[in-house]
Amino acid sequence: MEKTLSEVIEQRRATPSFDGTPVADADLKKILEAGLKAPSGYNLQPWRFVVVRTPEQRRRLRAASFNQAKVEEASVVVVACGDKDGWRTDLDEMIRMGRQGGMTENYAEQARVNIPEYLGNHPNLTAWLNRHVMIAFTSMMLMAEVLGYDTAPMEGYEADKVCEVLRLPLSYEVVALLGIGHLKGQDKFDGGRFSMARTVFDGEYGKPINL
């Protein structure tokens, strides 16, 4: 039975160790599709995902990830990337799909002008990619948990080595790794979360929110 989103948000933990049991293909498809449904600026969907499943490739990815054992233990590791040049080739497809879904020709014309201007001169494409890729990544992580799997988000890797192992194009940036499988042993200690008083403001900086 699927967990609810509220249950997942309450119970999700970053899994320290996986038992190696498989992720069903139908579930993996559902997890990936959840990510691809994420929102993105202009609907440009600049994310790319490499799904690492074979023992040999997981072993090589582990070596590129500071030897983190869970990279090899998880039956699936999704390597979430962003493509800095994706918009150049995806713009036409984004407009074609949008037009099919009701985008006006006027909107399409504006997009053809504005997007190259915006992204061709963007001061920080890495930040732009990261904000998009992590939304899709998070959707995948939560869907995996809804389906009863355990997950491990990871930033502990050497990007140049990961690029080499996965034979990524030069325009790709590696954003994060997501291990998916089943927990082996115990979860690690619960680190807790900062209070709202510390992290949430009401209307302006410094004003506590009372809810």
Ligand X SMILES: Cc1cc2nc3c(=O)[nH]c(=O)nc-3n(C[C@H](O)[C@H](O)[C@H](O)COP(=O)(O)O)c2cc1C
Query: In the complex, which residues of this chain contact ligand X (CB under 6 A)?
Result: 13-14, 68, 153-156, 176, 191
Structure tokens at 141: 């992580």
Structure tokens at 94: 């984004």
Instruction: Report the length, in residues, of the chain.
Output: 211
8 Å CB contact between 80 and 175:
yes
Nearer to ligand X, 38 or 108 (CB): 38
Nearer to ligand X, 119 or 181 (CB): 181
Structure tokens at 56: 């040999």
Nearer to ligand X, 23 or 176 (CB): 176
Query: Counting Cβ atoms within 10 Å, is residue 24 exposed (0-12), middle (13-18) or buried (19+)?
Result: exposed
Q: Closest distance between ligand X and the C-beta of residue 19, in Å?
A: 17
Q: Closest distance between ligand X and the C-beta of residue 27, in Å?
A: 21
CA distances from 2 to 6, 18, 76, 92, 149 (A): 12, 20, 20, 37, 10
Q: Closest distance between ligand X and the C-beta of residue 209, in Å?
A: 23
**Quick one: DSSP state of residue 41?**
G
CA distances from 80 to 22, 155, 159, 188 (A): 20, 10, 11, 24
Nearer to ligand X, 98 or 153 (CB): 153
Nearer to ligand X, 13 or 53 (CB): 13
By Cβ distance, which residue is nearest to ligand X? Answer: 156
Q: Closest distance between ligand X and the C-beta of residue 155, in Å?
A: 4
8 Å CB contact between 50 and 76:
no
